Structure 1
Amino acid sequence: MSKELKTGIVAVVIIVLFIWGYNFLKGENLFSGSRRHFFVEYENINGLNKASLVTINGLKVGKIDEISFNKTPEKQGILLVEISLESDLEFSKNSIAKIYSASLMGGQNLAIVPKYDGGLAVSGDYLKGEVEGDLFSSVSEKLNPIQSNLKNVLVGADSLLIGINDVLDEKSRKSLNRSILGLEGTITDVRKTLTSVNNLLSNSKENLTATLDNTKKITDNFSKISDDLAKSNLGATVKKLETTLSNVNGLLANMKAGKGTLGKLMTDDKMYTNLTNASKEMEELLREMKLNPKRFVHISLFGKKVKPYNEEANIKNVSTK
């Protein structure tokens, strides 16, 4: 192979590499497959340019080919952005091409938000365009209502202060000062009281500890008593008590019905009268034996007769000698 042929081949290779590198730096890949081209309309592109990236889910999939004004009369002033995609990802015509801020320092990129409902998007279709507000725009939008509310608050506060100044004349201010001084004195007294209480608690710490120990012992004793009661078959005792009370109730019921000796004594007036009379006669007999014992123990050598019973003397508790 001659030197001239070698030199020509090397020159062609260099030219091809130069063209490929130039297009690669522009974002074009000469060895990639067929590209799909789409169009998006915007009223404002917020600084989007041909160097901006075209991404899907954060992955670069294409580039911006052209940005121009729409030449259609009814769409004058509308910007037309032409993009080309290398990715073979299929999405529907309802997908959105959103311009977003690439960083805080500025710069805009274009993201395809794919949707999969509806017909598939093919090369040459128009996608719906949206513009995402940057950080400063979002902050400004959120601060505007806050600023308005803050202004209203400040106006209200100013009116309130003016009203307070009108109400608090010199006499009222002096009275308020005296009240504040009195409140300060009260707080000082409260602090002294709290200090005294703390000292009292510190001095009585041992007594409080002993009291708490005694309380714990009492609680333990109650717990033991409770355990003893639980173990003492209290249910059987209560049952026996109920049986005893039932028997007593039956006895009282029989007595009330006049059954038995006690029942007859309680309900039979005749028996009560007889017992009363017998008691009375027994009393008279004992009195007679005390007053005239000779009538009951009679010893006579001469046949002397015993004097008969004298009821009147017995009642008067007088002996009949």
Structure 2
Amino acid sequence: MKISKEVKTGTLVILGIILFIFGFNYLKGKNLLESTNVYYTEFNYNALSKSSLVTVKGNPVGKITDISYDYKTGKTRVAFFVNEQLKFSKNSIVRMYETGLMGGNGLAIIISKEGEQAKPGDVLKSEVEVGLVTSLSKNFSGLSTDLNATLKSTDTLMSSLNKLVSDESADGLKSTIAELNATLKSFKNTSNSVNGLINENDDKIAEILEKFKVSSENLASLTTELKDANIGSTVESLNKTLANLNNLLATIDKGEGTLGKLLKDEGVYNNIEAATKEMEELLRDIKLHPARYRRILSKKEIPYEGDKTN
């Protein structure tokens, strides 16, 4: 069968168009011959490019297909496809990370098996991993400022030291070193004097130490004797005695018992006071009129005689 030139030409044109479409999409990161699933995620800014890799544990599983700005939310929506054999849940996280020191970012899927399985078209949660270059770029300005301040302080310190070393005045470093040497010499002389004093009184110091040793031994033996004397029982007996004394004082304070009534009852006090006054009057009367009381003291019966002075 002979094929005409027109058919051949049409076939070549169609094949060329197919190859062009396939190549164009391949350059965009989309493989038309590969079975894929498209998912979405969102970031607060765009640091990605189309055809950037999507990885799982460092292994490429897909690519970014589209990046667009959402005017309603103000976020960057990223569409990416992965191999249909990859299964993960909706709780999985899409992480944006730096792919190298020369720049460029990619997406990594932190797979989670918990929860409902993700389906094509779902929007997954996202996070941004701060890379080495980004961290250095953010902190380098502060590091540079601190380094400049440190260098300035070091320069000031060195200038002050140079000025101090080259100072020939009385307040300079040389005079200070001379005074320090004099102080060290004086300290050396004092140390020698102390050493001589110790050598001269070595016997006395030894005697003092021996007496201190004897005193320590006596104190130790006294402590042992006090321990063996059962001080605990003595203290316990003393506590009981003090408790009984407290009870007695409390009884007296309440006016109970003879002593309590004597201290608290005013009637008893008044009676005692009245009896005391009568006793004083009786003694005074005996002194003034002893004749009245002779018959009481005499063994013989003596009739009572009135006071002749009355």
With structure 2 as the length reference, what TM-score do the two structures score?
0.46
| Structure number with bigger Rg | 1
With structure 1 as the length reference, what TM-score do the two structures score?
0.45
